[in-house]
Amino acid sequence: MLKSMTGFGRGEYIDSTHRIVVEIKAVNHRYNEIVIRMPKTFGSLEDKIRRSIANTILRGRIDAFITVDEYGEKKRTVRVDKELAIAYHNAMRELAGIVEMPASDNIFHLAKYPDVLKVEEITEDVEQLWPKLGTAIESAVLNLMRMRETEGANIERDLLERVDKLYTYIASIEARAPQILIDYRERLLVRMRELLAAAGAEPDETRLIQETALFADRTNVTEEIVRLKSHLSQFKATVTAAEAVGRKLDFIVQEINRETNTIASKANDSTIANVVVEIKSEIEKVREQIQNIE
């Protein structure tokens, strides 16, 4: 089944201590580019996050947005700057000696000095949060892939319909091809008679056959039609394949376009030229569609 490269998925994990939300947006891109926006504290998990996404999403520009809310009481600790406290104490004793006043050793008074006591939050080990975050990522990726597959199914139907149109156009070229030779022979015969009328001579049948044969060889598009049908058959088989096929389809479309251009240059017929215009129009629509395929 085809998968579109565009889509959006959201995943969420909630328990008594955390709420983690992961939103993933994907758009067209030639390669697989993953951009992650998350709290700085989750930086050590970036490789895990990237691998978790890349294991499923193979191609496209992927923007992942991660938000984390913490519930409950935060763990805190009070740190004593021993060196600073001693420095304050010594400074106060020195100052007391200078002004000839008794020094005070009141510990509560010393604790009020700047930066002697510092309150610090105990940060949680983010590695322990990975199971929660991984669950949210898995949910977001799953929802995104569902959207990609739905859009991919619509693209697949459209592509197969256009391939059927191309088969119809090719059939009309095959039906027209024999008539091109007949029309050329008749035009050549009329022209030869016009040129030989003054001399009272009749066209040379052998020469007429030779010229017609040469024209038939120059304008024969059988080989191109065979290859074109083969490319279309390969295209249909690739569309229904299970793996990522966007680049392969792009290559096949290039080959289809190449054979079509050769037919247009060799056929030397206005009717076939008009059919080729229709074929190229369909090819361009196919090309636009497959730019959105993974």
Cα–Cα distance between 218 and 181 in angstroms, integer?
11
| Number of Cα atoms under 13 Å in the Cβ half of residue 208 | 16
Angle at 195 between CA 191 and CA 198, to 5 degrees: 140
pLDDT tens over the chain, length 294 residues: 788 999 999 999 999 888 999 999 999 888 889 999 999 888 889 999 999 999 999 889 999 999 998 876 666 677 788 887 788 778 777 777 777 666 665 677 777 778 777 766 656 678 888 999 999 999 999 999 999 999 999 999 999 999 999 999 999 988 888 777 667 666 766 676 666 666 666 766 777 667 666 765 666 778 888 999 999 999 999 988 877 788 899 999 999 999 999 888 887 788 888 999 999 999 999 999 998 888
3-state secondary structure of 274: helix
Please spell the DSSP secondary structure of 18-51, one letter per residue: EEEEEEEEEE--SSEEEEEE--GGGGGGHHHHHH
**With contact defined as beta carbons under 8 Å apart, do 141 and 57 qualify?**
yes
Domains of the chain, first to last? 7-72+127-147 (3.30.230.10), 76-121 (no CATH), 152-290 (no CATH)
